[in-house]
Amino acid sequence: MAKIGYARVSSKEQNLDRQLQALESVSKVFSDKVSGATTERPQLQAMLDYIREGDIVVVAELDRLGRNNKDLTDIMNIIQQKGATLEVLNLPSMSGIEDDNLRRLINNLVIELYKYQAESERKRIKERQAQGIALAKEKGKFKGRKLKFTENDPRLQLAFKLYIQGATEKDVERQTGINRRTFQRYRQKYDIHRK
């Protein structure tokens, strides 16, 4: 049995120190600097491959594993299928409960409640943000994000030309350096379609 830690921050500029300090007691730590919006995280996958039956996966906070209920449930199911358990340091400890099955049951119930609360909070934040933007637009104060490219930008024009000629979005990104999602937004904005 080993304690395996997992830490995550959303971007390369953010710092893992606080989480790593909380995970000092574990024997091995996996860490990612990538958004929790996806489960395609190299070190998360490596940690899930590494754990064995009887291991304990330790995270400082549940949202370090994932940002939505479905992803968290999927990750927790993988941990359970491998015969490991999950310990979340900022949730109440169940170590005083001697019956393993009862401790696991109560721990899972607490985690389910926490997942529900976290997802509800994210929805409320998005709703408040949308309301704030709507009010700012009404008052003429919301300009939105500054456009990265003007319509006449040579790179954007090259991207449109390549796309119209049959290049895939991946090819366009490789040749122009314009991210696929960004390119999709500009195609919609300027109504660019293949003939």
Cα three-residue angle 101-49-51, rounded to 5 degrees: 40
Q: Is 106 exposed, middle or buried (0-12, 13-18, 19+ CB in 10 A)?
A: middle
Question: Dmax of the chain from CA atoms?
Answer: 69
CA 27 to chain centre: 25
What's at 189, amino acid-wise? K
Sheet strands (E) in the chain? 3-9, 28-33, 56-59, 85-88
> Among 116, 136, 125, which Cα is nearest to 68's?
116
Return the SS3 of 69: helix
The answer to whether 10 is a known catalytic residue is: yes
56 beta partners: 3, 85
Q: How far apart are CA 153 and CA 163, in angstroms?
A: 15
Q: Choosing from 10, 35, 93, 120, which is the catalytic residue?
A: 10
**Catalytic positions, please?**
10
